[in-house]
Structure 1
């Protein structure tokens, strides 16, 4: 008995140590970027910044908010994220609810066709030609419409509707004369806040971090999202470091670029950091309730 107790205690210590190590690995890059964004660029490039900021300065943030293109990208990204997430949510609910109904004839066939698209697609060139023929180039719809539906998220929502909401409640509503739309609006959606919060988080993070679609479909800089400007700054900073800093002018440019790089990473990710705490309790609950129960 004593040996079993010691074994369990040793296992608990091991688990706690492993979790602490994982937390350090995950959190340290965030802490370092935050410290580097308010530290002197010279100290950062000399490798003096590890955990705490050195020679605190806000020159990076000053340059970021002074740049009109970055502010334009920030505005565009907010618009793309809000509009795109709203469309994603409506389309996912509209697809997942019928697939979760037992009385929907052919639901397994439609689900199989959707899953098929997860493994096979037309490819980048046909997608570009389709977007071009639809007249969506250089518009926000080129970033939103092609990805308006995620099959993976539809399957998660369908599983939640099947296992998280008793079918008897929907049948009772139908007996009382409630239509399918009425059942969805009055019964299913009010009970589905956990999975809706999860979908909002999934979709909003995807839109906020997306840059590849903008790189393909957009050529007008006034339409660029923030992540595309961030990519340009990071590439320019790498090129400047590769070319060297021969004179004082180039050195100052490289140092300012280093400060801007870290400050922009913080500014670009701050809204997502602020969003997650409000959805965190729904996030864990929604994923667990949507899981398959034995």
Structure 2
């Protein structure tokens, strides 16, 4: 006689077992495979002279809201947030804002003009679980703080590419774009809204809501009809000043010198409010519909936003 277990892992999470996971609620990769992945990530990033930083899984809600953006999907719909006493907490949905909080709190700038940091660990988002999307997921990333140069942007991208190449991935597609400086993004936002408002009745309900709150997120749409509507939309590069364009051209030149192939995507803006200048995404068509591997960008204003 067999009995069903009383408790199971929460939907959208999974157990990592010592052996291959072939049961409900277990990941297909055993713990030794996860250890190998983490070891490769650490070895590659430390070869680029990045040093590991670890931040708490719990962070102040206000930190994430200010760092990521009050109107982003993460803050409005996807945070696991709760209150104890007078303090509001959140399970971290990403790690860039916590790393910048730690950088400012511990005055890491006094240990060197440029800080090259990497992290690896779990994050949490209240998403609808589906293939490739979990409520607890594992993320690695790097933060290069204190360098304004295009070389720094290219170095971060090169480190990312090196990690995935170390795993033997061949069919990689790197897309890049520029958002310009802090003045460029608001100008582009207004132009995009002006273009889309007359077309609002042809947008999905989600995009109609984003049109007034976070219109740049519409550019991430997977809806084919909306993608056709966006073909005539203004490009952000037309709103970037001469200095911003020069920065972008230098980033491309450095990538070419490193032998890193890329495609320019004029609609690649990313969904987080702190990005300025360079943005990038890496994907592999071999993964199917969930093709994204990594993404990021420069965030010159985040430290100011966090006080």
Q: TM over 0.5: same fold?
A: no
Larger RCO, structure (CA 8 Å, separation 6 or more): 1
From the CA coordinates, give the structure whose radius of gyration is larger.
1
Structure with the largest fraction of strand: 2
TM-score (norm 2): 0.26
Structure with the largest fraction of helix: 1
